[in-house]
Structure 1
Amino acid sequence: MSVVRQFRWADYERVVAVWEASGAAVLSRPELEAKLLRDPELFLVAESGEDIAGVVLGTYDGRRGWIFRLGVHPGFRRQGVATRLVAELESRLQALGCPRINLLVMPDNDAGLRFWASLGYLSYPDVLCSKPMPAPAGQALS
Structure 2
Amino acid sequence: MRKTENQNGAAALARVRFRSCRVKDAAKVIRFWNEFGAAHSLKDEPAAVRRRLKRDRRLFVLAWDDDRLVGTIMAGWDGWRASMARLAIDPQYRRIGLARALVERVERELRSLSARRIGAIVLKNNRGGRAFWSSAGYELDREDVRFVKDLPRV
Bin of the TM-score, shorter chain as denominator length = 0.7 to 0.9
State the identity %. Answer: 32
CA contact (8 A) 1:45 1:54 kept: yes
| Aligned match of 2:6 | none
Q: Which runs of 4+ in 1 moved over 6 A?
A: none
Partners in 1 of 2:26 and 2:53 — Cα distance? 13
Q: Which amino acid aligns with 1:134?
A: P
Alignment of 1:1-142 (within 5 A): 1=14, 2-24=16-38, 25=40, 27-125=44-142, 126-136=144-154
What's the TM-score, normalizing by structure 1? 0.87
Deviates more, 1:119-128 or 1:22-31: 22-31
Change (3 A) 1:131 1:14: closer
Q: Does the 8 Å CA contact 1:4/1:84 hold for their aligned counterparts? A: no
Where does structure 1 lack aligned partners over 5 or more consecutive residues? 137-142
Match of 2:11 in 1: none
Q: What is the TM-score normalised by the length of structure 2?
A: 0.81
Using the TM superposition, give the Cα deviation of residue 10 of structure 1 relative to its aligned residue in structure 2, in angstroms. Answer: 2.9
Q: Is the 8 A contact 2:62 2:73 kept in 1?
A: yes
**Total equivalences in the alignment:** 136
